């Protein structure tokens, strides 16, 4: 019976295992090999050792530019996203009349897909006719050039991204906050603790595993930023929005330099891994697990 059950179990997981081997593991192994080759897909690969990697690290001006752009995007966006959506969650956790409407309103932008969102924000960010600059002009302020400016293009994309994902993350934090036992807050209140004390010493430590999880996920997502730059700026102006994945895409599907693009992909993995390990290391200091 045991053998039979095991066999049946294997049959049921077989589609996934076969799928993973063919479409997951095989391409991963193959891409390691291609990263050591000059390869344009249509012709045979030429083994060139680690030349792609040395070219990337020491010769390619776009590589470091794209690394810097992506790190900037990640470093600014991740804390802002976590902090912003956490504050939103705290706000919409209040028992106020009509709160469901607020929750829905904040959540709504997150159902818009990347391409539509980017096209919409192209107009919101338009320096002459855009919503943001028109509002700033109403208060007598002169708005920046946003996507046309080398200084403001990355902040503009970060702003757009926060608007679109904030609501979704808010829900996650809201669920976590609502899972905190009420008694803890009651005890704090009896001891005379105000809202800040409750937030700092109960809410944040109690949901710190969720904050940690999302900071890891946000960093990984941020490293993968692509659609916004692809649709809105194509990496410009002056490569100020040339993010890592956009550059990888250009090398792979414009230039057909698949070997070079594979090397780029592997370096991205290393970069993500290093940052995630650092996050795990730091997490020991602030993440509290109840057990």
Partner 1 sequence: MNRFFKIIKVIGISILIVAFLFILFWDFDKENDNIPGITTLKYWYISGAKDELPYQALKFDSLRDDIKMKVTGIPWQENEKKVLTSILGGNPPDVVTQVTPVVKWASRNALVSLDKYIKRDNFDSTVFFPALWREMSYNNEIYAIPFNTASYALFYNKRLFREAGLDPNKPPKTWNQVKKYSKKLLRKNEKGNIIQIGYLPDYYKLQTVTIMAWELEAPFYNDDKTRINLTDPKMVRVFQWLSDFYKDYSLNKILAFEAGFGNANQHGFISEKVAMVVLSSSFPDQIKKYKSDLDYGVAKIPTFPGFKTASSAGIWWLAIPRGAKHPDKGWEFIKFSTSKKIALESIKKMESNLFPANKLAATDSSFLKNKRDKIFIENMKYAHSPAIIPLVHDAFWREFIGVQENVKYGANPLEELKNAEKTIQREYKTALSYDKFVQQEMKIDK
Q: Give Cα 34 distance to the centre of its chain.
A: 27
Alpha helices, H only, the chain? 2-20, 26-34, 51-58, 61-91, 99-107, 114-124, 131-138, 153-178, 182-190, 195-198, 204-206, 208-223, 227-232, 244-249, 258-286
- Name which of 19 and 179 has its Cβ closer to partner 1: 19
- Name which of 45 and 109 has its Cβ closer to partner 1: 45
Q: Within positions 195 to 254, which residues make up the interface with partner 1, using CB under 8 A?
A: 236-239, 250, 253-254
Nearest distance from residue 126's CB to partner 1, in Å? 5
Q: What is the token pair recorded at 229?
A: 């730059």
Is the distance from CB of 151 to CB of 144 less than 8 angstroms? yes
Number of residues that bind partner 1 (CB under 8 A): 30
* From candidates 93, 110, 148, 224, binder to partner 1 by CB under 8 A: 148
Using the rule CB under 8 A, is 44 a contact of partner 1? yes
Per-residue contact flags (x/-) with partner 1 for residues 54 to 83, judged by CB under 8 A: -x---x-x----------------------
Cα 55 to Cα 201: distance, rounded to the nearest angstrom: 50
Is the distance from CB of 231 to CB of 118 less than 8 angstroms? yes
Is the distance from CB of 280 to CB of 260 less than 8 angstroms? no
Nearest distance from residue 46's CB to partner 1, in Å? 5
* From candidates 31, 110, 149, 283, binder to partner 1 by CB under 8 A: 149
Q: Within positions 266 to 285, which residues make up the interface with partner 1, using CB under 8 A?
A: none
Is the distance from CB of 210 to CB of 223 less than 8 angstroms? no
- Name which of 88 and 250 has its Cβ closer to partner 1: 250
Q: Within positions 117 to 146, which residues make up the interface with partner 1, using CB under 8 A?
A: 126-129, 145
Binding residues for partner 1, per CB under 8 A? 11, 15, 38, 40-44, 46, 55, 59, 61, 126-129, 145, 147-150, 236-239, 250, 253-256
């Amino acid at each position: 019976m045991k053998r039979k059950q095991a066999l049946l179990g294997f049959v049921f997981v077989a589609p996934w295992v076969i799928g993973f081997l063919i479409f997951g593991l095989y391409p991963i192994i193959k891409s390691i090999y291609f990263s050591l080759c000059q390869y344009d897909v249509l012709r045979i690969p030429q083994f060139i050792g680690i030349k792609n990697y040395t070219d990337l690290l020491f010769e390619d001006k776009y590589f470091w530019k794209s690394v810097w752009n992506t790190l900037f995007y990640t470093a600014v966006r991740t804390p802002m996203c976590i902090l912003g959506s956490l504050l939103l969650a705290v706000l919409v956790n209040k028992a106020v009349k009509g709160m469901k409407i607020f929750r829905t309103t904040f959540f709504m932008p997150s159902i818009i897909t990347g391409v539509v969102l980017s096209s919409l924000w192209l107009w919101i960010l338009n320096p002459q006719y855009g919503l943001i600059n028109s509002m700033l002009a109403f208060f007598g302020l002169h708005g920046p050039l946003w996507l046309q400016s080398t200084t403001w293009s990355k902040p503009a994309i970060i702003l757009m991204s926060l608007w679109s994902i904030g609501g979704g993350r808010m829900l996650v934090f809201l669920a976590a906050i609502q899972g905190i036992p009420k008694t803890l807050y009651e005890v704090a209140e009896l001891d005379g603790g105000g809202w800040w004390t409750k937030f700092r010493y109960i809410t944040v430590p109690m949901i710190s595993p969720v904050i940690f999880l999302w900071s890891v996920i946000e960093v990984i997502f941020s490293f993968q930023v692509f659609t916004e730059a692809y649709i809105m700026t194509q990496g410009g102006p002056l490569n100020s929005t040339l993010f890592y994945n956009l550059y990888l895409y250009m090398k792979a599907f414009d230039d057909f330099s698949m070997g070079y693009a594979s090397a780029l992909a592997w370096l991205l993995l290393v970069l993500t891994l290093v940052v995630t390990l650092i996050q795990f290391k730091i997490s020991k200091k602030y993440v509290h697990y109840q057990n």
